[in-house]
Amino acid sequence: MRRVFPLAAACWLICARAQDPVCKPYAPCYTSVSIVNAASGVPELAPNTLASIYGQNLSYVTRAITSADIAAGVLPRSLEGSGVQVIVGGFYGHLYFVSPGQVNFLVPPNLLPGEVTIQLIREGTAGPAVRVRLKEAAPALFQLDGRTALASHHPDYSLVSDEAPARPGSWVLLWATGLGAVTPPAVYGEIPMRAAYLENLENFHVLLNGTPVPRENIGYAGLAPTWSGLYQINLKIPDLAGPDPEIRIIAGESASPAGLRLPALPW
């Protein structure tokens, strides 16, 4: 979840929109376009999306979430010793990682699509309150190296790679964020302990080389149990997928960025 996207990390310096406030000296500094989807690095968010803030002076320490930060199945609002909090639309965004230049958090699942204010506070010092528009879905696949989708073989969860590609007829697990509402609904702050299908499953599609995968090839699309903000897609590789097809996912009216491939054999 700590994957750094060079464009996203640098863009906040040069891409600030006119309505973004000027940062105060020594205060946390970021802009609306430096708050991005943690999987794609694109500034598109939805409720229950894993997100990253890139900027300066975000934290005095570097910390990642550990089991000690989780109490009774509830994610932390702040990581111990960091003094960092992220407020999203009036709710705490639960944290996964903090550092001086990057903070990873979960967009609260109980928010509705529309414009919200996001603000980072570091030990009582507030960064700018910036306006961000939440979409119903902002789908993005996690990736290995900027060009390969992160996928696991079923059932042993070993990594799908050029050295161990998927085969037609085999099942793989894809990992994503930003796919939107699920049934039963995700509970604010709580780690999901069971499967929950996408609420709008009929409007969810997987494309391989631009061709929709047959519905029967999608065994599951919904929350990944024990991982807040993470979605799991169980996909059976079609017989005619071809070698290393480009893979995209569509949720409602939104599609994941183009250009990722899935390592796969032609037969």
Taking residue 182's Cβ as centre, other Cβ atoms within 10 Å add up to: 21
Report the pLDDT value the prediction gives residue 24, as an integer from 0 to 100: 84
Q: What would the pLDDT profile of 75-92 be if each residue is shown by its tens digit?
A: 999 999 999 999 999 999
- Give Cα 171 distance to the centre of its chain: 22
Separation of alpha carbons 134 and 260, rounded Å: 24
Per-residue pLDDT averaged across 198-218, rounded?
98
Inter-residue long-range contacts of 197-200, CB under 8 Å, 24+ positions, other chains counted = 197/221, 197/222, 198/222, 198/231, 198/251, 200/137, 200/251, 200/252
Q: Are 218 and 251 in contact (CB under 8 A)?
A: no
- By DSSP bridging, strand 140-141 and strand 211-212 are unpaired
Please check the confidence at residue 5 and state whether its pLDDT lies above 80.
no
Split at pLDDT 50, 70, 90, the class of 4 is: very low
Give the up-direction half-sphere exposure of residue 200: CA atoms within 13 A in the CB hemisphere.
15
Report the pLDDT value the prediction gives residue 20, as an integer from 0 to 100: 61
What is the per-residue DSSP string for 125-192? EE---EEEEEPS---EE-BSSSSBB-EEETTT-PBP-SSS-B-TT-EEEEEEE----EESPPPTTBPP
Non-local CB neighbours of 145 within 8 Å, separated by 6+ positions:
none
Please check the confidence at residue 11 and state whether its pLDDT lies above 70.
no
Report the pLDDT value the prediction gives residue 18, as an integer from 0 to 100: 42
Separation of alpha carbons 47 and 109, rounded Å: 5
Q: Is 21 helix (H, G, I), strand (E, B) or coil?
A: coil
Report the chain's mean pLDDT, rounded to a whole number: 93
Separation of alpha carbons 216 and 171, rounded Å: 12
* Domains and their CATH numbers in the chain: 6-134 (2.60.40.10), 140-255 (no CATH)
Tokens describing residue 83: 């003094």
pTM, rounded to two decimals: 0.91
